[in-house]
Amino acid sequence: MPSKGGHMNVFDNLDFGIKRDIIKRHATLVLKLDYFNYEVRLYSWDKYFIEEYFETSAQKVTRISLASEKDLLKFIRNICITDLGFNCLS
């Protein structure tokens, strides 16, 4: 995975509405999971992963940011490779 630095670091500083628009128009939902008081949605976009945090008690999205390798750890055990269109050898 490319590093979070460089020009993609600009993503985290974009206006919240612009980030929502990027997700809506260009990103692909990979997985969503419950994480504490949030539903966290993981999207892929242009070789990067984006996390969107939906706070269940407030019923609104409270954070959108690029996912680091550390952030991705919470998703790993929930990813089904065949759901992503890959075939596994037996």
Could you tell me which of 17, 14, 62 has the C-alpha nearest to residue 41? 62
Domain count for the chain: 1
Per DSSP, the three-state class of 6 is helix
pLDDT in tens, 54-85: 999 999 999 999 999 899 998 887 777 676 66
Give the range of the structural domain holding residue 37, as residue numbers without chain letter.
6-84
pLDDT in tens, 19-64: 999 999 999 999 999 999 999 999 999 889 999 999 999 999 999 9
| Entry pTM | 0.78
How buried is 72 (Cβ within 10 angstroms: 0-12 exposed, 13-18 middle, 19+ buried)? middle
Dihedral, CA atoms, 48, 41, 80, 78, nearest 10 degrees?
110
Q: What is the CATH number of the domain that holds 49?
A: 3.10.450
Kindly state whether residue 89 falls inside one of the protein's structural domains: no
